[in-house]
Structure 1
Amino acid sequence: MKKRVIVGLSGGVDSSVAAYLLKEQGYEVIGLFMKNWHDDSVTISDECPWLDDSNDAMLVADKLGIPFQTVDLSEQYKERIVDYMFDEYEKGRTPNPDVLCNREIKFDVFMKIALDLGADYVATGHYCRKTTITKNGEEVHQLLAGKDPNKDQSYFLCQLSQEQLAKALFPVGELLKPEVRDIAKAQDLITADKKDSQGLCFIGKVRLPDFLQQQLKPKEGVIVEIPRDNPFYNETLPSFNNKLEELKYRSRKPSYSITEGVVKGKHQGAHYFTKGQRKGLAVGGTAEPLFVIDTDVKENVIYTGQGSTHPGLYKNVLFVSNEELHWVREDLALDTDQTMKVLARIRYRQVLQKAILHKVESGMYVEFENQQSAITEGQFVAWYLDEELVGSGVIS
């Protein structure tokens, strides 16, 4: 009996080649296109990305001679991703819809549909790898970085569980992007030269501010510039009784007030902005560009600093609460007071940074060797042992 694999055909080159490779490997392959959005009022211009994409996915399936169908997951997508995003932005946090889309949609809702259709596995076009080892007589699945350092997408899968990984296949993870395009060209697939999709996971080319403005009403507030010599940045370090006190101190968030800076302009809603953002402030006349160093959604104030080296952008310790802490490798999870040396990143494509995990009763501190720019609440921190992603969490 051939094993059955259902491929999430997105209409892009990566999932097209994933389907081709699985067929070559002797699997029974079925292509499924996920329709996650059909509100065309928020896509840019008059392009209707999901229609074009589903059409391309259908043509690829036809070319490969595999069955194809479309599933409409827009209701679940709205509930689990879009509503969550609005909620997070409203709280002044910056969510990562791509990470959530993988955890909640592709490897949950979609996976359940696939398993109901008798699939043994679900496959996607992600650039990452999976291996399985045996530990204490049990199978343990490892999530490894993709072979292509420029395309490694393991970060986007940082919230997957052992159960989800057990059923997942990543056929292009061993390849470099140019090799994937070459295979697509050799097989004469319509997606061979198609540009990689940008924009929100599966929604297509959406302008995030337009998208947010549909739900979060504009509200005028002020943009305040905080000078580099703010006392908060130049405090003398207190002496600490223990490591926990030090971690708590270093991870704390400055609380700015309007009186500490100069009003530089106006904005249409603090909830549209995120830490580290430079574009969209529309404030001129400063020696260096302004960067968002903090947003206060309660008071509706955006705090900024001049230049990418402004001290308000940097710190080296972050915290993840127990509720938002996730181990891909549950067998490696730390107990209270344990530490672990890891490599970590706080955003996709960031070069891995040396860090130490400190497990405490209420959650976990991640202490980086070097200062990190724009550690942003609501984003994910993921940690690795060599090339294996072992856990992640939402930055508090």
Structure 2
Amino acid sequence: MLNSLGIAKPPAETRVVVAMSGGVDSSVVAALLKEEGYDVVGITLQLYDFGAALRKGACCAGQDIYDAATVAERIGIPHYVLDYESRFKEQVIEEFADSYARGETPIPCVRCNQTVKFRDLLATARDLGADALATGHYVQRHLGPDGPELLRGADAARDQSYFLFATTPEQLAYLRFPLGHLSKLETRDLAQRYGLSVHDKPDSQDICFVPDGDYAAIVKRLRPEAVEPGEIVDLAGRVVGQHQGVIHYTIGQRRGLGLGAEVSGGEPLFVIRLEPNRRRVIVGPRAALGRDRVHVKEVNWLGAPGVTEAACTVKLRSAQAPIPATLVRQADGSGTLTLTAPQHGIAPGQAAVFYDGERVLGGGWITATELSDLEVAA
């Protein structure tokens, strides 16, 4: 007989490691599983320097580690803090800086889930003899005909599936998401019922390792060449302004260009593409942003085995509603999405996440885009 986590053991004989970030979600997961009688072990990751991390709106910071320890003591489970700072710097922060230097718009939270949390922490959980690793993400895991499937969270406003597209089938077999069927309000109500001090703690905001949202300062320190000044050029090649580094711009950006109305003839200008090797920012009208073909790399496939072409919907940004597309996957891990209608502001470095209804089919990293009737990719 299977327990509530789908494991053929009594809860008392089932060890579950809970990734405790110090926030309300993972704290409720630990308390919920403890109440159900599981052998729960809490683990919190120290990902970067305490001094730089003692601020509100962060995660895996000094205050968060204290909060996680307080919750663990309250519910009576062992709690360990693991120093993953060097791994986090190498696998997340350095990659973040490199991505911006390449003219991309990175998503470090996905890389963190992909590497530090769902690879390294998962291995540690296995070393501790755990039967599963549980997190507070708002996604759902169901068993399908080919094994575990990843689905969007029941609360569309809290769904985090976009950020977990890189979860592999092997990892999904080991992971559990006990909050996937709940809303945030229901989670906070549970935290109050369990008497957890974090029941009204604000959600983490922005990128955890970027103080005050100033990501450019991080990139400047790690990759100073990425903030060299250069030219802002229109689609005809005419220099219309100067910039202080391509890292300050992203595809589709309108605000902060510093260009007067005389440059655009009164028409709003947008960032059309970035050329970091030439230190150029290319601007043009909104119509020039339209793209209906999206190339991706490092595709992680969670759909039926062997499928290389699929009709799907795709999210090209975390806050975007899924749009219809056709995906063709290649053996080298790359793929091409053909959209049913052009979209504006698709940025390399972001993720393209594929869905079949509520099910996550996988995703990949956007490398380039084009408009199907143009010969030159943007």
TM-score in same-fold range (> 0.5):
yes
Partner residue, 1:340: 310
Whether the 8 Å contact between 1:42 and 1:207 is mirrored in structure 2 is no
- Aligned partner of 1:169 among 166, 171, 176: 176
Q: Measure, in 1, the Cα distance between the counterparts of 2:290 and 2:103.
A: 18
- What CA distance in whole angstroms lies between the structure 1 residues aligned with 2:79 and 2:212? 24
- The verdict on how the C-alpha distance between 1:61 and 1:296 changes in structure 2, with shifts beyond 3 A counting, is same
Unaligned runs of 5+ in 2: 1-11, 368-378
Q: Map 1:143-292; keep pairs closer than 5 Å.
A: 143-201=150-208, 206-217=213-224, 218-224=227-233, 226=234, 256=235, 259-264=236-241, 266-285=242-261, 287=266, 290-292=269-271
Of 352, 359, 365, the match for 2:336? 365
Structure 1 distance, partners of 2:30, 2:267, is 49
TM-score relative to the length of structure 1: 0.81
Deviation of the 1:183 alpha carbon: 1.1
Match of 2:357 in 1: 386
Deviation at 1:70, TM superposition (A): 0.7
Question: For this pair of structures, how many residues does the alignment match?
Answer: 350
Residue 262 of structure 1: CA displacement? 4.7
Could you tell me which of 268, 290, 302 is aligned with 1:328?
Answer: 302
Residues 120 and 201 (structure 1 numbering): CA distance in 2 closer, same or farther, change over 3 Å?
farther
In structure 1, C-alpha distance between the alignment counterparts of 2:213 and 2:122, rounded to whole Å: 25
Structure 2 SS opposite 1:331: coil
Alpha-carbon distance, 1:24 to partner: 2.3
Q: Is the 8 A contact 1:384 1:390 kept in 2?
A: yes
Q: What letter corresponds to residue 267 of structure 1 in structure 2?
A: H
TM-score scaled to structure 2, two decimals?
0.85
Q: Aligned match of 2:322 in 352, 360, 380?
A: 352
Q: Does 1:88 align with 2:59?
A: no
CA shift for structure 1 position 44: 7.2
Provide closer, same or farther for how the CA distance between residues 39 and 304 of structure 1 changes in structure 2, counting only shifts above 3 A.
farther
- Please state if 1:120 is matched with 2:90: no
- Taking a change above 3 Å as real, the CA distance of residues 331 and 274 of structure 1, as seen in their structure-2 partners, is same
Checking the alignment, whether the CA contact within 8 Å between 2:53 and 2:61 is kept in structure 1 is no
After superposition, the Cα gap between the structure-2 partners of 1:272 and 1:103, relative to the gap in structure 1 and judged at 3 Å, is same
Q: Do the aligned partners of 2:47 and 2:60 also contact (CA within 8 Å) in 1?
A: no
2:348 to 373, 377, 382: 377
Task: Tell me by how many angstroms 1:212 deviates.
Answer: 1.2
Q: Please tell me the residue identity of whatever aligns with 1:357.
A: L
1:76 alignment partner, SS class: helix
Amino acid at match of 1:33: T
| Partner secondary structure for residue 278 of structure 2 | coil
Counterpart for residue 103 of structure 1: 114
- Whether 1:65 aligns to 2:76 is yes
In 2, the alpha carbon distance for the partners of 1:69 and 1:361 equals 41
Structure-2 residue corresponding to 1:253: none
Alignment deviations for residues 351-376 of structure 1 (CA, whole Å, 9 cap, x no partner):
11111113467742211122212111
Q: Aligned partners of 2:243, 2:89: CA distance in 1, in Å?
A: 27
Q: Which runs of 5+ in 1 are unaligned?
A: 227-255
Contact 1:212 1:272 in 2 (8 A): no
Matched, 1:131 2:142: yes
Change (3 A) 1:22 1:284: farther
